[in-house]
């Protein structure tokens, strides 16, 4: 078949160009996923009661001068929980992308 070599070279170049584009899009989507996961500071609905109970605990702690001990510990735990959620979502996102 005449000209098949030229045709295949064109198809190979076309394929490489689109694979590079797909790789770039995949990397960009990972950055987007990472940024969205890092924005998990917004609590889901339904946690209002939990925070009201914390406020009551903190008010009691102020009266007994324990606020300085409780608040940093709760903040550290909250930050650790958020960090763990971000890491887990990033891992899941990465695994899902690798399976494709």
**pLDDT, position 78:** 73
Residues present in the chain in total: 100
**CA angle 30–34–40, rounded 5-degree value:** 150
Tokens 């950055």 correspond to 31
Mind listing the pLDDT tens digit for each residue in 5-29? 888 888 999 999 999 999 888 888 8
**pLDDT, position 15:** 92
Mind listing the pLDDT tens digit for each residue in 39-98? 765 555 555 555 555 545 545 544 444 445 556 667 677 777 777 787 778 777 777 777
Where do the domains of the chain lie?
A: 1-43
- List, as one string, the DSSP characters of 10-35: HHHHHHHHHHHHHHHHHHHHHHHHHH
């Amino acid at each position: 078949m005449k000209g098949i070599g030229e045709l295949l070279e064109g198809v190979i170049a076309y394929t490489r160009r689109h694979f590079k584009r797909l790789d770039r899009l995949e990397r960009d989507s990972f950055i987007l996923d990472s940024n969205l996961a890092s924005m998990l500071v917004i609590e889901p609905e339904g946690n209002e009661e939990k925070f009201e109970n914390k406020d009551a605990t903190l008010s009691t702690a102020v009266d007994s001068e324990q606020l300085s001990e409780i608040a940093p510990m709760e903040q550290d735990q909250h930050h650790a929980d958020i960090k763990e959620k971000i890491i887990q979502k990033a891992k899941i996102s990465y695994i899902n992308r690798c399976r494709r």
